A and B are shown apart, each in its own frame.
Chain A
Amino acid sequence: MANFTRLTLVLLFRICCWCLVTSSIETTNLLIGLVICFLIPFGDFRRLKMHALIPEILLILRLPYDMMKECFELMLINDPIDNFTEEKVNIRATSGSKFAEFFDLFRITFTPMSLVTRRENSDAWRVHLVASASEVEAKVKPKESNK
């Protein structure tokens, strides 16, 4: 049953791509698309990790909101400086699903305030963030005065 669901999802994805590329959802076009979808080799769809993939795809739905919010945040920074941090790789992405790993990277890089530059180790991404120089200074000064 699980394999049937995987196969159905792969077919649905392919037929969606076909309909978008051909810009048509007529019955004849759908039938041609279905034949082509079956003719393309399926690969090893049994290894598709649904439990890791579906939540990652759902998380992408909130990207438009994050994208707009971070866009204005970036625009408000007048004195930008580079700030590298490490961000934990999502637990689902470490489960061995390449697609979940890609979606995790995609979610971080797609928004304007963060950019993945590389995989630091198996658990963390090296992420570049934009910080405000004056804000960083304001944070550092109280720490120095405490010493």
Chain B
Amino acid sequence: MTITFVSYAILSLGLYFWIWGTLPILNKEHSIFYKLHTLTVADSVGSLLIVVALLLLAPQYWPLLLVTAISLSLWNTIFSYILGNISDRPS
């Protein structure tokens, strides 16, 4: 019961981070770099929190969820760097 409550709390926090991190994309006033920072909140932190919540809800799928968490962390960071590098090139 407690684990279910904790996992849903983490899941909600992850969903909140997803929404908070994704909405600034629509704002034209923000720079591409700020959008990359907020997307890190959404994609890395939000998604990882959701994966942690799922791990608590369904621990039998831990290998699958661990692979997902590692892949998410690596790809999000690498893509942030690539997009940041492309945007920072002198024109």
Besides A71-B17, A115-B84, 11 other A-B contacts (C-beta < 8 A): A20-B63, A74-B41, A75-B41, A82-B33, A109-B80, A110-B40, A115-B33, A116-B81, A116-B84, A117-B81, A118-B84
Contact of B40 among A23, A24, A112, A118 (CB under 8 A): A112
Residue of A19, A80, A110, A118 near B44 (CB, 8 A) is: A110
> Which partner residue on chain A sits nearest B34 by CB separation?
A80
- Across-interface contacts of B76 in A (CB, < 8 A): 110
Among A74, A106, A109, A115, the one with the most B-chain Cβ atoms within 10 Å of its Cβ is A115
Contacts of B31 in A (CB 8 A): 82
For chain B, residues 58 to 88, give those with C-beta under 8 angstroms from any C-beta of chain A.
Answer: 63-64, 66-67, 70, 73-74, 76-77, 80-81, 84-85, 87-88
Interface residues as binary, B27-53 with A (CB distance below 8 Å gives 1, 0 otherwise) = 000110110111011001100100000
Q: A20-B67, A118-B85 are in contact. Are A110 and B34 (CB under 8 A)?
A: no
Q: How large is the interface on B (under 10, 10 to 19, 20 to 34, 35 or more residues)?
A: 20 to 34
The secondary-structure label for the interface of chain B is helix
CB pair A128–B45 under 8 Å, yes or no, is: no
Is B20 part of the binding interface, using a Cβ–Cβ cutoff of 8 Å? yes
A residues bordering B, Cβ < 8 Å?
Answer: 19-21, 23-24, 67-68, 71, 74-75, 80, 82, 105-106, 109-113, 115-118, 126, 128, 130
Hey, which bits of chain B sit against chain A, CB under 8 A? 17, 20, 30-31, 33-34, 36-38, 40-41, 44-45, 48, 63-64, 66-67, 70, 73-74, 76-77, 80-81, 84-85, 87-88
Q: Which residue of A lies closest to B74 (CB)?
A: A106
CB-CB < 8 A to B38: which residues of A?
Answer: 74, 112
Cβ–Cβ contact A67 & B63, under 8 A: no
Instruction: Tell me, in angstroms, the Cα distance from A19 to B52 when the chains sit together.
Output: 20
> B81 near A109 (CB under 8 angstroms)?
yes
Query: With A20-B66, A23-B63, A82-B34 in contact, is A118–B88 under 8 Å at CB?
Result: yes
Most chain B CB inside 10 Å of its own CB: which residue of A74, A106, A111: A74
Q: Of B44, B64, B84, B88, which one neighbours A67 at CB under 8 angstroms?
A: B44
Please report the C-alpha to C-alpha distance between residue A114 and residue B40 in the assembled complex, in whole angstroms.
Answer: 10
